[in-house]
């Protein structure tokens, strides 16, 4: 069973946390993501923190509270990040960020496998009960993926992103790992 309660399909790729040797491939994948889908991400190639190898190394050292999970076939074809809120009153929340799968590997369950892995990781963190994310209206397939997993929209940010004369809304979504208590 997956973290979402569905039967698992045998993996066609290896899913694992990134390690030091994966930094450069991730930086390249991240740049590809920002160029391929500019309205899907808040960052652009010119201001993205994760275009820096040093920042990625720092992120990888933050585990298990801060991880990047990758899909390999055999090279890196997709990734998703997760970090925990550092403030005590909001430390029950983690944030999913940067989900991306290369175009020639889409529609092959790679994003679903990455999402399952990151939700399992979140569920294993003590005291974590909610997973939050932001998804662009420019990526309705991604929003459907999250909705199928059990994420629900809790807010809409009109004009959340603006690029090259286009403006799109951002949907803020949450997934409850435990029943809501208030």
Give per-residue pLDDT as tens, 74-133.
Answer: 999 999 999 998 888 988 999 999 999 999 999 999 999 999 999 999 999 999 999 999
Q: What is the pLDDT of residue 4?
A: 44
pTM to 2 decimals? 0.88
Residue 42, both tokens: 């808040």
Report if residue 3 sits inside a domain: no
State percent of the chain over pLDDT 70. Answer: 92
Q: What is the mean pLDDT of residues 125-149?
A: 96
Report if residue 22 sits inside a domain: yes
Report if residue 6 sits inside a domain: no
Range of the domain at 145: 14-176
- Report d(CA 165, CA 182) in Å as an integer: 41
79: CATH: 3.40.630.30
- pLDDT reading at 180 higher than 80: no
Count the domains in the chain.
1
């Amino acid at each position: 069973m997956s973290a979402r309660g569905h039967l698992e399909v045998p993996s066609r790729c290896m899913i694992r946390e990134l390690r030091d040797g994966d930094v450069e491939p991730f930086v390249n994948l991240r740049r590809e993501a920002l160029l391929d889908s500019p309205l899907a991400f808040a960052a652009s190639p010119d201001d993205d923190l994760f275009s820096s190898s040093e920042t990625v190394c720092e992120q990888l050292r933050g585990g298990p509270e801060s991880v990047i999970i990758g899909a390999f076939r055999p090279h890196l074809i997709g990734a998703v990040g997760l970090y925990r809120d550092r403030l005590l009153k909001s430390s029950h929340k983690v944030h999913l960020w940067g989900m991306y799968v290369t175009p020639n590997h889409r529609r092959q369950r790679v994003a679903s496998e990455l999402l399952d892995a990151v939700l399992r990781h979140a569920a294993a963190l003590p005291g974590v009960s909610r997973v939050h994310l932001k998804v662009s209206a420019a990526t309705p397939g991604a929003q459907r993926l999250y909705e199928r997993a059990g994420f629900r929209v809790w807010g809409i940010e009109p004009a959340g992103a603006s690029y090259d004369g286009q403006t799109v809304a951002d949907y803020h979504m949450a997934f409850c790992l435990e029943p809501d208590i208030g």
